[in-house]
Amino acid sequence: MRLRELAEKLECRLVGDGEIDVRGLAPFDEAEDGDLTFVAHPRYLLKLEASRASAVILKEGVSASSKPTLLARDPYLAFVRALHLFYPPERPAPGVHPSAIVGPGVRLADGVSIGPLSCIEEGVVIGPRSAVGPQVYIGRGSSMGADCRVYPQVTIREGVEIGDRVILHSGAVIGSDGFGYLRDRSGARVKIPQVGRVILEDDVEIGANVAIDRATLGTTRLKRGTKIDNLVQIAHNVTVGEDTVIAAQTGISGSTKIGNRVTLAGQVGIVDHVTIGDDVTIGAQAGVINDLPPGMAFWDTPAVPHFEAKRNIAGLHRLPLLLKSLQSIESRLKALEEAFRERWEGALRPEPSPEGKSH
Amino acid sequence: MRLRELAEKLECRLVGDGEIDVRGLAPFDEAEDGDLTFVAHPRYLLKLEASRASAVILKEGVSASSKPTLLARDPYLAFVRALHLFYPPERPAPGVHPSAIVGPGVRLADGVSIGPLSCIEEGVVIGPRSAVGPQVYIGRGSSMGADCRVYPQVTIREGVEIGDRVILHSGAVIGSDGFGYLRDRSGARVKIPQVGRVILEDDVEIGANVAIDRATLGTTRLKRGTKIDNLVQIAHNVTVGEDTVIAAQTGISGSTKIGNRVTLAGQVGIVDHVTIGDDVTIGAQAGVINDLPPGMAFWDTPAVPHFEAKRNIAGLHRLPLLLKSLQSIESRLKALEEAFRERWEGALRPEPSPEGKSH
Amino acid sequence: MRLRELAEKLECRLVGDGEIDVRGLAPFDEAEDGDLTFVAHPRYLLKLEASRASAVILKEGVSASSKPTLLARDPYLAFVRALHLFYPPERPAPGVHPSAIVGPGVRLADGVSIGPLSCIEEGVVIGPRSAVGPQVYIGRGSSMGADCRVYPQVTIREGVEIGDRVILHSGAVIGSDGFGYLRDRSGARVKIPQVGRVILEDDVEIGANVAIDRATLGTTRLKRGTKIDNLVQIAHNVTVGEDTVIAAQTGISGSTKIGNRVTLAGQVGIVDHVTIGDDVTIGAQAGVINDLPPGMAFWDTPAVPHFEAKRNIAGLHRLPLLLKSLQSIESRLKALEEAFRERWEGALRPEPSPEGKSH
């Protein structure tokens, strides 16, 4: 693609030779001849000049290069848009592969593809241009909107509702039973039937090997635009708000409510039945055992405001010194007590040195 | 179902109109007209009255309502039993789907179903009424008892023994190789063959995307009634006792023994070759590095008795104050030392203020 | 197998009756008549004598037994080699199962097996004697070397390069999208296309339900001989060095570089864009937020050198005592101040007791 053409499509101002051919995209330190790159921060401009990239996206009004340049308000965003142009998502050809098993009453809209060896149960509804498969399972009565992408070996159990433009990565399980038991009088565990559903709203993305349990009764819901990384656990009856981001291996226990625009780092754990406010950020490996108010950052187990966590950790790291300092204080105090006692025997109040009494 | 009929099936005493029709089940705050609900605690009785539920299960001898009522010793348990009546687990029709691949010497008892696109290897034995559901893999010589449910996309490797009424959720892998290597003289790792087996006893339930490794030699065993949540790791040669509950994302390392009726919260980690006593409870994200005696609760990394963990954490949170307090003590001590020295120069013993010597 | 024959194959010196028949292998405390066992440490020699094992592997020049014995430089290693002899890895018969779906342009070398219900997309290349399947997915253009083993229900996305003798366990997902988004001016998240690749070098082994993300651009790479346990997360653009071992449920964030011969225990978390030096060991559940220099052991969150972590934890556990000790010091100090003040009113400097001023 000509650089001039790219400038038009990305709505960037072109500086320099627009006739050069852009053959690929790369970070500036890996770029080869023919590549377009980008630099978001002026500190990399010198390295850019040494790079083999043929053209660059730079920030409007801030930076300049000897290379042919596209000027953008947000160079990284423009680069990402260029990636979308160069690597349009692969869409399997529409149609149902003959090896797929499709139950009665399944409704497939225009442009839907069902890959090899997938199993689509009775009554499933799939919206326009959604691509499912291969080796995917979709349970009875589940539905999916338009333009979804379901990668190989996803399991969607029965009664799951999925919006538009949802992406599900391989190994994800949507709608497995919640983890709930009662003990009867003999002490044996009775399984609580898990008969609720899961709703994934528009623009949700779910990572590889994620598990999202169906509600006991009612709904486990992930709202519009929420993105879930690999190996995350979402328990029964959880609600996750809009535009929330949950990093890998985090676990959210039953009935907990996560707000909008929340960021959970990796390996965070949140107990059941708590509420996390909007715009909260929780640091990696934190363990949340209480409601958290909106707009703040938290860390540590149990989670406390981030600055407190850092102060506590700094305190912990100073503990060995503190113990030494305490010993030194104690011996100085003892010396002073003894010196004082030498001068005035018995002058000290009896406690805390009981020997004082006998003097 | 008539309320009167439900009363009989649940063995509850009926108070009020038994002719009303129960059409669904719901928690009282979500109940609609026609729903049966339950209230386990008297504090919700007022809210119950405001609820749209048509009938309620209450605790015998404790509570009353203006709504038609079933009186039960344990209202929640009775409600769960009502759930079982209203939502009987779906059983696929018996038989082997023509798209399934079934090896030689496979023995299927009466009422077994093998779903589409499953692969059952040579010599597998499956007991009465077990339902193995689409896209499952069962390796050579594995066996399963009666009334099991295997959800789509489970992998059961060769030589796994599964009891009666076992439930395996999607994405679970049973019998993967244990993680064991030796270094040879050149330093390269030699894989230790993992040739043992896995036994899942009766009434075990395994969550989505769980991994249970086979033993190196011998057996990885989960005893009767144990329930495992999603994304849990059970390493080679682990033994888990009866009626133990393990929450999501917990990991148990090789050869460790977990007792009976143990509760492990989410994201717990336990090192290899330790023994956890019966009736132990371990709090979320705890890291266990030693044997733990029976009957106690533990938390934190490294895990200590729960009350100690809470005390330690409380101490950690007081550290900033403690540091201030120490500074104040030090300056008071210094002031006292100087005042004392002013009165009697040289009176103090030389240490710990070496300047004292020169006075 | 005769013990004499085994001695030759394992290159061990035989002591005692070489004509006995070895029928199985077992640890000494589980061994039955006919089993060969091993003892690596002299402290177990007494127990060995009580064992029912028929023969034993012992360390050359160190130990002796009344049982027929093989003497080896490394008894455990010799035992593992005996395991390889007794349990040769099962190799499915070469060929493509008729239920497998194989795309155009797929190249399969001699001795390759493709199991039932696997899906091999266009242009995949598989090297000699590699065994794939059943129910495996391999995406367009991926390649695999010789003697690989891919267990059931593995997903390998498009453009993944796999070396020789690589083992992939069930449920592993190789090449899922990295987790990357940008916010546009409206605040909505734009997915960053994940168009890089994954390279797994020779002798890599990947556990069950692992997720390894493809690079955004460039490569996610696991180098020769690295072993990954179950449920591990490897994010986009990570590099893991040679002969590194990563235990279960550990997570490594984007673009982080792990050195050679590193050992990561279970449930470790490492943030993005850090570098872990060669020969580092990181303890279980540690959280790494900085670069770590080579050759050292680390633990705790945030990770510090192992001895510091132990000292900090010991300090934390002494905090309750320390608080008591501080209270005792404070009351002794107060007693001394008051005694001093009684003798010389006003002698104390005004701070930190403001009352001093008024005396």
- Contact map slice: A 56-85 vs C, CB within 8 A: 73-74, 76-77, 80-81, 83-84
Which are the contacts of C314, defined by CB distance < 8 A and separation ≥ 6? none
| Spatial strand order in the sheet of C119-120 | C101-102, C119-120, C137-138, C155-156, C173-176, C211-213, C233-234, C251-252, C269-270, C287-288
What are C175's two structure tokens?
């090449």
Which three-class secondary structure state does DSSP give residue A182? Answer: strand
Terminal-to-terminal C-alpha distance of chain A: 99
Q: How far apart are CA A42 and CA B222, in angstroms?
A: 59
Q: Quick check: A348 and C335 CB within 8 A?
A: yes
pLDDT recorded at residue A184: 84
- Distance of alpha carbon B315 from alpha carbon B321, whole angstroms: 10
- Cβ of C253 within 8 Å of Cβ of A266? The answer is yes
Question: Within 13 Å, how many C-alpha atoms sit on residue B276's CB side?
Answer: 37
* DSSP codes joined into one string, A112-155: -EE-TT-EE-TT-EE-TT-EE-SS-EE-TT-EE-SS-EE-TT-E
Count of Cβ atoms closer than 10 Å to residue B290 Cβ: 14
In this complex, is the C-beta atom of C27 within 8 Å of any C-beta atom belonging to chain B? yes
Token reading at A253: 């226990």
The tens digit of pLDDT for each residue in A79-112 reads 999 999 999 888 899 999 999 999 999 999 999 9
Burial class (CB within 10 angstroms; exposed 0-12, middle 13-18, buried 19+) of B185:
exposed
**Angle, to 10 degrees, between the axis of helix A75-86 and the axis of helix A3-10?**
110
- Chain B CA closest to residue A102: B116
CB contact under 8 A, C340 and B340: yes
Residue C345 pLDDT? 60
With CA atoms as reference, report the closest residue to C95 among C115, C81, C80: C115
**8 Å CB contact between B240 and B259:** no
Q: pLDDT 10s digit of each residue in chain C, 359 long?
A: 899 999 999 999 999 999 999 999 998 888 999 999 999 888 899 999 999 999 999 999 877 889 999 999 999 999 999 999 999 888 899 999 999 999 999 999 999 999 999 999 999 999 999 999 999 999 999 999 999 999 999 999 999 999 999 999 999 999 999 999 998 888 789 999 999 999 999 999 999 999 999 999 999 999 999 999 999 999 999 999 999 999 999 999 999 999 999 999 999 999 999 999 999 999 999 999 999 999 999 999 999 999 999 999 999 999 988 888 999 999 999 988 888 887 766 555 444 444 433 33
For residue C195, the chain A residue with the least C-alpha distance is A87
3-class SS at A19?
coil
Residues near A332 by beta carbon (within 8 Å), at least 6 away in sequence: B333, B337, B352, B353
Of B182, B271, B325, the CB nearest to C77: B182
Residues of C in contact with B332 (CB under 8 A): 333, 337, 352-353
Question: C95-256, which class in CATH?
Answer: mainly beta
Mention every residue, 6+ apart, whose C-beta is less than 8 A from residue B54: B20, B22, B31, B33, B34, B35, B36, B67, B68
Q: Tell me, what's the pLDDT at C346? A: 52
A332: chain B residues, CB-CB within 8 Å: 333, 337, 352-353
> Each residue of B279-332: pLDDT tens digit?
999 999 999 999 999 999 999 999 999 999 999 999 999 998 888 899 999 999
Identify the pLDDT of residue C338.
Answer: 87
Best residue in B169, B213, B233, B273 to probe C by mutation, most C CBs within 10 Å? Answer: B233
pLDDT digits (tens, 9 = 90+) for B132-147: 999 999 999 999 999 9
User: Which residue, among C173, C236, C290, would best test binding to A if mutated, counting the most A CBs under 10 Å from its CB?
Assistant: C173
Q: Single out the catalytic residue among C84, C169, C236, C273.
A: C236
- Give Dmax (Cα) for chain B: 103
Which partners does chain C have (≥3 C-beta pairs < 8 Å)?
A, B
Q: In this structure, what token pair is assigned to residue B104?
A: 């030689």
Q: Which of C67, B348, B207 is nearest to A341 (CA)?
A: B348
Q: What is the DSSP string of B213-279?
A: EPPSSSEEEE-TT-EE-TT-EE-TT-EE-TT-EE-TT-EE-TT-EE-TT-EE-TT-EE-TT-EE-TT
The CA-to-CA distance between both ends of chain C, in Å, stands at 98
Secondary structure (3-state) at B129: coil
- Catalytic site residue from A236, A306, A317, A359: A236
Confidence category of residue A344, pLDDT binned at 50, 70, 90 = low
Distance CA C95, CA C102 (A): 12
**CATH architecture classification, A3-86:** 3-Layer(aba) Sandwich (3.40)
Percent of chain A with pLDDT over 90: 82
A187 neighbourhood in chain B, CB within 8 Å: 243
Q: What is the pLDDT of residues A235-278, one digit of tens each?
A: 999 999 999 999 999 999 999 999 999 999 999 999 999 999 99
> Does the structure show a pLDDT above 80 at B71?
yes
**Lowest-confidence pick of A281-290, A316-325, B118-127, B350-359:** B350-359
Average pLDDT, chain B: 93
Among residues 163-222 of chain B, which lie with CB inside 8 Å of chain C?
A: 171, 173, 176-177, 179, 181-182, 184-185, 187-193, 195, 209-211, 213, 217-218
Rounded to an integer, what distance in angstroms lies between the CA atom of residue C202 and that of residue A116?
A: 30
Predicted confidence at residue A352, as pLDDT, reads 46
pLDDT at B353 (0 to 100): 42
Among the partner-chain residues A209, A304, A312, the one whose CB lies closest to the CB of B209 is A209
- The region that residue A310 occupies, defined by phi over 0 for left and psi between -120 and 50 for alpha, beta otherwise, is alpha
Q: Which of A46, A44, A55 is nearest to A82 (CA)?
A: A55
Domain positions in chain A are 3-86, 95-270, 307-358
Query: Which residues lie below 8 Å from residue C194, measured CB to CB, with a gap of 6+?
Result: C177, C178, C180, C213, C214, C215, C216, C236
Task: Give C266's contacts (C-beta < 8 A, 6+ positions apart).
Answer: B233, B251, B253, B269, C229, C247, C248, C249, C250, C284, C285
Shortest CA distance from A331: residue in chain C: C329
- For domain B95-306, the question of CATH label 3.20.20.100 is answered with no
Has residue A359 got a pLDDT over 60?
no
Query: Which tens digits make up the pLDDT trace of A12-47?
Result: 999 999 999 999 999 888 899 999 999 988 889 999
Q: CA of C99 to nearest chain B CA: how many angstroms apart? A: 8
How close does chain A come to B235, measured CA to CA in Å? 18
Q: Is C354 on the interface with B (CB under 8 A)?
A: no
Residue numbers in A near B99 (CB within 8 A): 99, 101
Tokens coding B246:
């393990």
- A299 near A309, Cβ under 8 Å? yes
Q: What is the DSSP letter of A2?
A: B
Calculate how close chain C gets to B128, using CA atoms only, in Å. Answer: 26
Instruction: Given the residues B97, B169, B236, B359, select the one marked as catalytic.
Output: B236
Share of chain B above pLDDT 90, in %: 82
Report the residue from A208, A227, A349 with minimal CB separation from C189.
A227
B306 is catalytic: no
In the stretch 223-252 of chain A, residues with CB closer than 8 A to chain C read: 225, 227, 229-231, 243, 245, 247-249
Residue A305 in tokens:
């405001």
Spell C267-297 as b/e; 16+ CB within 10 A means b: bbbbbbebebbbbbbbbbbbbbbeebeeeeb
In whole angstroms, what separates CA A334 from the centre of its chain? 56
Has residue B204 got a pLDDT over 50?
Answer: yes
Distance CA A327, CA A329 (A): 5
CATH class, A95-270 region: mainly beta
